């Protein structure tokens, strides 16, 4: 068997590893090897593989046999390449020892720099560089790092300072110095001795002078750091398996602090904030890496290097182009210039804003670097929010947060940035907004009564409620910015004041909310409107004038090319529906009719219907609503012009519509010409302890069929009228909260009866469907029975999540955060479908429904319909469509395309695997066939 290889050398334009070997060499090691292979100037070094880490932990922190020999041989190669010797007092080689796991874990594990320095090599290095200050500074930094990382001299408790920093600060204080760079060679020399004494004092051990001992100490420390608390916590957070282990990279040191012809910097091959295709970075001359990030000196923009050293700048610029093209991905690089020579120390995929991610992906397709498929797989659908929604001025926001103006954090329920005056009730919101100032409606929670105030507001902020609370879902539907469930707010409506984070804010004060992050910030922040909206919705910009819009449009076109799912929208007003069409919606998946009940004077009719004791009274009242509802539906049908429209019959518990305030109750009694007491009695009788599981959904239409009758008539009459105008109409009438097939059967009969009457009256025929929401576990489990009565299913995952978990969608926020903090749940099940539970019910329901009707139309209209992971689940379950709020339509389009592409990639991988297995089998068969058959002993041919 071939001997196992543990060490991989890189240097002199040739590496034993490649960029593909991330699992064995870690990200850093693989990229160092790759940079060497593409002939970039990289200081030589070697990588100890992740397999050693695995071995180390499986064998009681011992190394595999043969490792030591390989490390010694690799050091020799580095020595040869650098023409230096490890531990040589005259010409010493110094190395760095760094961790490097498969996935980047920034700052979680340990690093040792300047390794190889001791009292003897220090002298050689001074002779060589003629720069004693630099050498002693490097030496004291090395002892400090080694003492911390390898010998464990860390602060003993949270209240302790770092022991080395303490000595350093004392030194500066004694000599009345402010910055580290003011320390003289003598001071640094003293520090070296004082650091060593501190090590001896605390550990009883001497600082090791032998470079080999230093090296093995550091290798061990890096492997040990794989299991430090920080690394374990980080892995848990980002789902990185412990079994991956870390590699260790040992590399010749180069110095950016060897004088004015040396320097160091970090750069991105493209602008990480805007995505612009331009070299972006900063550097410092005569400095080490940590000086660039520490903020003690202000780094210079990369362009200024051209004036300082044009040759190096040119080389660096060429390397930037080479890396960008080679990796076909924006890179984040570190470099050092040592005495006029450039060295590349690291490259990796650069972190970027969502805005930049899309810009870069589209540019790279246009530049022929990547395919459309690759671009779509690189764009996280949520990143589109940064193209669609207003955003804060980043500098102002940073300043505000640093200036202690961050008040609290809630749920990021409606993305985007909004700034306005605080108002605590809906009617004040309407009034203040009329005056011209933007407002933020701030409520404990919202209810349907607040609709007009929500409409008038720039943003909505609530203290209670989750991702599917009224505030959250209505805000998303309206395209409003919303932070919900911000538990730190203590709102006093009467005082029109809010207490938060030790501060008091009053109505009229300015506040800013970030619905993408959930942050609530005191005071005013400037916002920038989205160019895409200016083109698509406001018409204030032309497509050809907006580069951002053109990029958005490209992504949308590509997404539509690959997606199989149709995308519909949840909308209950023609203007919302029209916006959604502009975003690419192909129908309405949910029109919540109850939202219409608060428009105009409708609420009076609704209340009269609810408060009537008799069938006749109810029927009279509800029939007053018929013309208004008919107009609402006609408006929607006209707006959707031929696209299917799913309209749901009344769903919420009736008490949501009844008046609560005395003056409204009295007004209702007067209107109905009944005693106030009678109205109050009726209100009391409607009270329910658990209304979300009470008299709502189809249960309303079953007990009060006149409601379903009126709504079905309004829908179908509107459809007949609009059809006569020449508009194509495709109504789909949807019955909510069905748990038993007989419920649907009952409601179906009501609708069918009304349909016959209406068609006769209008003397026309009409295509329409009757279907149901699947939002109760029983509905999913008996979907084959329910399908007998349904022409379509639409998963109401808000209620399905609520009823599957037994969680209240409005109150669960109170303790769900505790669940995430303690890893009981990973994410909000009201935002992303819980695949194992709710997702499984969706699978069962779909399978059962289609077992009876193979072509049954199936969609989703819960808030999850706009969540990228949930959209991909719907693709996998072979749904026909997802329906989401208008502003999430573009996100759903991209998510649907990614679902289809992921499927394609998986099929490709499965085929490749099949081919590989077949080839393997064939090779074994060939080998068998080519082997001469051994003659059995004693059965030679001769005997025959």
Q: Indicate the residue among 527 and 794 with the shorter CB distance to ligand PEP.
A: 794
Q: Which two tokens stand for residue 793?
A: 């299913």
- Cα angle, residue 613 at apex, residues 609 and 615 outer, rounded to 5°: 70
Chosen from Mg ion, ligand PEP, none, partner binding at 257 (C-beta under 5 to 8 Å by type): none
Distance CA 567, CA 888 (A): 10
Set 861, 864, 874, 884: catalytic member = 861
Minimal distance, residue 799 CB to ligand PEP, in Å: 3
Distance CA 747, CA 790 (A): 11
Residues 6+ apart with CB under 8 A from 453: 423, 425, 426, 427, 428, 429, 430, 441
Minimal distance, residue 798 CB to ligand PEP, in Å: 3
720 is catalytic: no
Residue indicated by tokens 């701030």:
442
Stretch that binds ligand PEP, among 194-202, 222-230, 407-415, 796-804 (CB under 6 A): 796-804
Minimal distance, residue 450 CB to Mg ion, in Å: 19
- Cβ atoms of 344 and 35 within 8 Å: the answer is yes
**Residues forming a β-bridge with 648:** 592, 734
Contact characters 676-715, ligand PEP, x per CB under 6 A: ----------------------------------------
> Does residue number 899 form part of the binding site for ligand PEP (CB under 6 A)?
no
For 246, the 3-state DSSP assignment is: strand
- Of 264, 386, 576, 798, the residue at the interface with ligand PEP (CB under 6 A) is 798
Q: In whole angstroms, how large is the CA radius of gyration of the chain?
A: 35
Minimal distance, residue 829 CB to Mg ion, in Å: 15
Chosen from ligand PEP, Mg ion, none, partner binding at 324 (C-beta under 5 to 8 Å by type): none
Chosen from Mg ion, ligand PEP, none, partner binding at 589 (C-beta under 5 to 8 Å by type): none
Stretch that binds ligand PEP, among 397-405, 528-536, 571-579, 793-801 (CB under 6 A): 793-801
Q: Indicate the residue among 459 and 653 with the shorter CB distance to Mg ion.
A: 653
Contact characters 494-513, ligand PEP, x per CB under 6 A: --------------------
Minimal distance, residue 11 CB to ligand PEP, in Å: 60
Minimal distance, residue 796 CB to ligand PEP, in Å: 3
Contact footprint for Mg ion (CB under 5 A): 775, 796, 799
Distance CA 433, CA 426 (A): 11
694-706 per-residue burial string, b: 16 or more CB within 10 A, e: under 16? eebbbbbbbebbb
- How many Cα atoms sit within 13 Å of 827 on the Cβ side? 14
Q: Which two tokens stand for residue 35?
A: 């940079």
Distance CA 102, CA 87 (A): 31
> Does residue number 799 form part of the binding site for ligand PEP (CB under 6 A)?
yes
> Does residue number 466 form part of the binding site for ligand PEP (CB under 6 A)?
no
Residues 6+ apart with CB under 8 A from 537: 579, 582
Q: Indicate the residue among 861 and 871 with the shorter CB distance to ligand PEP.
A: 861
**Residues forming a β-bridge with 101:** 246
Stretch that binds ligand PEP, among 530-538, 708-716, 795-803, 823-831 (CB under 6 A): 795-803
Q: Which two tokens stand for residue 192?
A: 């070296």
Chosen from Mg ion, ligand PEP, none, partner binding at 19 (C-beta under 5 to 8 Å by type): none
470 is catalytic: yes
Chosen from Mg ion, ligand PEP, none, partner binding at 94 (C-beta under 5 to 8 Å by type): none
Q: Which residue is nearest to Mg ion (CB)?
A: 799
- Cβ atoms of 892 and 554 within 8 Å: the answer is no
- Of 118, 797, 846, 870, the residue at the interface with ligand PEP (CB under 6 A) is 797
Chosen from Mg ion, ligand PEP, none, partner binding at 828 (C-beta under 5 to 8 Å by type): none
Residue indicated by tokens 């209209």:
861
What is the side-by-side order of every strand in the sheet holding 300-301?
300-301, 280-285, 263-268, 331-338, 341-349
Residues 6+ apart with CB under 8 A from 404: none
Q: H helices within 494-599, ranges in order?
A: 531-533, 547-562, 574-582
Minimal distance, residue 569 CB to ligand PEP, in Å: 12
Q: Indicate the residue among 123 and 655 with the shorter CB distance to Mg ion.
A: 655
DSSP secondary structure, 855-924, as one string = T-EEEE-SGGGG-HHHHHHHHHTT-SEEEE-GGGHHHHHHHHHHHHHHHHHHHHHHHHHHHHHHHHHHHH
Q: Indicate the residue among 247 and 842 with the shorter CB distance to ligand PEP.
A: 842
Q: Indicate the residue among 144 and 477 with the shorter CB distance to ligand PEP.
A: 477
The helix, strand and coil proportions of the chain, stated in percent and rounded to the nearest 5, come to: 50, 15, 30
Q: How far is CA 350 from the centre of its chain?
A: 16
Contact characters 628-657, ligand PEP, x per CB under 6 A: -----------------------x------
| Length, in residues, of the chain | 944
Burial of 463 (0-12, 13-18, 19+ CB in 10 A): buried
Stretch that binds ligand PEP, among 88-96, 206-214, 493-501, 794-802 (CB under 6 A): 794-802
- How many Cα atoms sit within 13 Å of 902 on the Cβ side? 15
For 831, the 3-state DSSP assignment is: coil
> Does residue number 796 form part of the binding site for ligand PEP (CB under 6 A)?
yes
- Cβ atoms of 805 and 797 within 8 Å: the answer is no
Chosen from ligand PEP, Mg ion, none, partner binding at 140 (C-beta under 5 to 8 Å by type): none
Stretch that binds ligand PEP, among 12-20, 152-160, 790-798, 920-928 (CB under 6 A): 790-798
Minimal distance, residue 735 CB to ligand PEP, in Å: 12
Chosen from ligand PEP, Mg ion, none, partner binding at 861 (C-beta under 5 to 8 Å by type): ligand PEP
Minimal distance, residue 503 CB to Mg ion, in Å: 38
DSSP 8-state class, residue 304: G
Q: Indicate the residue among 121 and 802 with the shorter CB distance to ligand PEP.
A: 802
> Does residue number 861 form part of the binding site for ligand PEP (CB under 6 A)?
yes
Distance CA 847, CA 860 (A): 15
Minimal distance, residue 798 CB to Mg ion, in Å: 5
Chosen from ligand PEP, Mg ion, none, partner binding at 592 (C-beta under 5 to 8 Å by type): ligand PEP
- Of 263, 275, 705, 862, the residue at the interface with ligand PEP (CB under 6 A) is 862
Q: Indicate the residue among 519 and 775 with the shorter CB distance to Mg ion.
A: 775
Residues from 581 through 600 that contact ligand PEP (CB under 6 A): 590, 592
Distance CA 558, CA 387 (A): 16
Q: Indicate the residue among 305 and 474 with the shorter CB distance to ligand PEP.
A: 474
Chosen from Mg ion, ligand PEP, none, partner binding at 862 (C-beta under 5 to 8 Å by type): ligand PEP
Q: Indicate the residue among 518 and 866 with the shorter CB distance to ligand PEP.
A: 866
Burial of 116 (0-12, 13-18, 19+ CB in 10 A): buried
Backbone angles phi, psi at 910, to 5 degrees: -65, -40
Q: Are strands 490-492 and 481-484 parallel, antiparallel or unpaired?
A: unpaired
DSSP 8-state class, residue 839: I
Minimal distance, residue 674 CB to ligand PEP, in Å: 31
Set 187, 326, 470, 746: catalytic member = 470
Residues from 757 through 786 that contact ligand PEP (CB under 6 A): 775
Give, for 275, the enclosing helix (H) or strand (E).
Answer: none
> Does residue number 214 form part of the binding site for ligand PEP (CB under 6 A)?
no
- Cα angle, residue 483 at apex, residues 477 and 487 outer, rounded to 5°: 135
Number of residues that bind ligand PEP (CB under 6 A): 10
Minimal distance, residue 803 CB to ligand PEP, in Å: 9
Chosen from ligand PEP, Mg ion, none, partner binding at 590 (C-beta under 5 to 8 Å by type): ligand PEP
Q: What residues line the site for ligand PEP (CB under 6 A)?
A: 590, 592, 651, 775, 796-799, 861-862
Residues belonging to the active site: 470, 861
């Amino acid at each position: 068997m071939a001997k196992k290889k543990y060490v991989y050398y890189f240097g002199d334009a040739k590496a034993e590893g490649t960029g593909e070997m991330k699992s064995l060499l870690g990200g850093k090691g693989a990229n160092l090897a790759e940079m060497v292979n593409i002939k970039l100037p990289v200081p030589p070094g070697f990588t100890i593989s992740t397999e050693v880490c695995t071995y180390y932990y499986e064998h009681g922190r011992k190394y595999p046999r043969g490792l030591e020999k390989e490390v010694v041989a690799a050091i020799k190669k580095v020595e040869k390449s650098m023409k230096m010797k490890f531990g040589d007092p005259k010409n010493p080689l110094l190395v760095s020892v760094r961790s490097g796991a498969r996935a980047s874990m920034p700052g979680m594990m340990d690093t040792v720099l300047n390794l190889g320095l001791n009292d003897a090599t220090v002298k050689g290095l001074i002779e060589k560089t003629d720069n004693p200050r630099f050498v002693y500074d490097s030496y004291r930094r090395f002892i400090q790092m080694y003492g911390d990382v390898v010998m464990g001299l860390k602060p003993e408790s949270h209240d302790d300072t770092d022991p080395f920093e303490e000595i350093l600060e004392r030194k500066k204080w004694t000599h009345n110095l402010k910055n580290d760079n003011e320390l003289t060679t003598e001071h640094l020399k003293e520090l070296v001795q004082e650091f060593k004494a501190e090590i001896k004092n605390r550990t009883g051990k001497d600082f090791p002078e032998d470079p080999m001992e230093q090296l093995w100490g550091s290798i061990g420390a890096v492997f040990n750091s794989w299991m430090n608390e920080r690394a374990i916590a980080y892995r848990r957070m980002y789902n990185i398996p412990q079994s991956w282990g870390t590699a260790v990279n040992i590399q010749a040191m180069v110095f950016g602090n060897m004088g004015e012809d040396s320097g160091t910097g970090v750069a991105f091959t493209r602008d990480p904030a805007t995505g612009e295709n331009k070299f972006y970075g900063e550097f410092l001359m005569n400095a080490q890496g940590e000086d660039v990030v520490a903020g003690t000196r202000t780094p210079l923009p990369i362009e200024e290097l051209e004036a300082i050293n044009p040759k190096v700048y040119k080389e660096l610029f060429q390397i930037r182009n080479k890396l960008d093209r080679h990796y076909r991905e924006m890179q984040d690089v570190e470099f050092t210039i040592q005495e006029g020579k450039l060295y590349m120390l690291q490259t990796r995929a650069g972190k970027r804003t969502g805005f930049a991610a899309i810009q870069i992906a589209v540019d790279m397709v246009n530049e022929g670097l990547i395919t459309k498929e690759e671009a779509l797989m690189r764009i996280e659908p949520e990143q589109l929010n940064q193209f669609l929604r207003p955003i804060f001025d980043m500098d102002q926001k940073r300043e505000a947060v640093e200036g202690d103006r961050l008040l609290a954090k809630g749920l990021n329920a409606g993305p985007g940035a909004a700034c306005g005056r605080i108002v605590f009730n809906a009617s004040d919101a309407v009034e203040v907004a009329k005056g011209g100032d933007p407002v933020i409606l701030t409520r404990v929670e919202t209810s349907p009564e607040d609709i007009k105030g929500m409409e008038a507001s720039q943003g909505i902020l609530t203290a209670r409620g989750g991702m599917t609370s009224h505030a959250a879902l209505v805000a998303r539907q309206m395209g409003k910015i919303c932070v919900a469930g911000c538990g730190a707010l203590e709102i006093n409506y009467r005082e029109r004041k809010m207490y938060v984070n030790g501060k008091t804010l009053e109505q009229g004060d300015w506040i800013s909310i970030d619905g993408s992050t959930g942050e609530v910030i005191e005071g005013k922040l400037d916002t920038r409107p989205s160019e895409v909206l200016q083109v698509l919705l406001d018409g204030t910009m032309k497509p050809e004038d907006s580069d951002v819009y053109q990029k958005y449009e490209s992504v949308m076109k590509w997404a539509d090319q690959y997606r199989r799912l149709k995308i519909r929208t949840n909308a209950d007003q023609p203007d919302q529906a029209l916006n959604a069409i502009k975003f690419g919606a192909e129908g309405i998946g949910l029109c919540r009719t109850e939202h219409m009940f608060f428009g105009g004077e409708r609420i009076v009719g609704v209340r009269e219907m609810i408060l009537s004791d008799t069938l006749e009274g109810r029927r009279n009242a509800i029939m007053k609503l018929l013309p208004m509802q008919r107009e609402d539906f006609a408006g929607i049908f006209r707006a959707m012009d031929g696209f299917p429209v799913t309209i749901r019959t009344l769903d919420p518990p009736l008490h949501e519509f009844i008046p609560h305030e005395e003056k409204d109750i009295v007004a209702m009694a007067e209107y109905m010409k009944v005693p106030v007491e009678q109205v109050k009695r009726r209100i009391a009788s409607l009270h329910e302890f658990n209304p979300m599981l009470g008299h709502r959904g189809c249960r309303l239409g079953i007990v009060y069929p006149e409601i379903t009758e009126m709504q079905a008539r309004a829908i179908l009459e509107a459809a007949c009228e609009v059809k006569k105008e020449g508009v194509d109409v495709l109504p789909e009438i949807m019955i909510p909260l069905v748990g038993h097939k007989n419920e649907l059967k009952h409601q179906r009969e009501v609708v069918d009866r009304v349909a016959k009457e209406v068609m006769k009256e209008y003397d026309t025929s009409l295509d329409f469907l009757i279907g149901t929401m699947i939002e109760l576990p029983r509905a999913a489990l008996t979907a084959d029975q329910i399908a007998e009565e349904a022409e379509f299913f639409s998963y109401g995952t808000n209620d399905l999540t609520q009823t599957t978990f037994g969680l209240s969608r409005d109150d669960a926020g109170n303790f769900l955060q505790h669940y995430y903090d303690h890893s009981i749940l990973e994410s909000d099940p009201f935002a992303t479908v819980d695949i194992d539970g709710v997702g499984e019910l969706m699978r069962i329901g779909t399978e059962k429904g289609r077992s009876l009707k193979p072509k049954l139309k199936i969609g989703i209209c819960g808030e999850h319909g706009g969540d990228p992971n949930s959209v991909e689940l719907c693709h996998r379950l072979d749904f026909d469509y997802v329906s989401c709020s208008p502003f999430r339509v573009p996100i759903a389009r991209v998510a649907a395309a990614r679902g289809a592409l992921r499927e394609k990639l998986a099929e490709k991988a499965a085929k490749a695997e099949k081919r590989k297995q077949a080839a393997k089998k064939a090779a074994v068969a060939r080998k068998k066939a080519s082997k001469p058959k051994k003659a059995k002993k004693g059965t030679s041919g001769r005997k025959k």
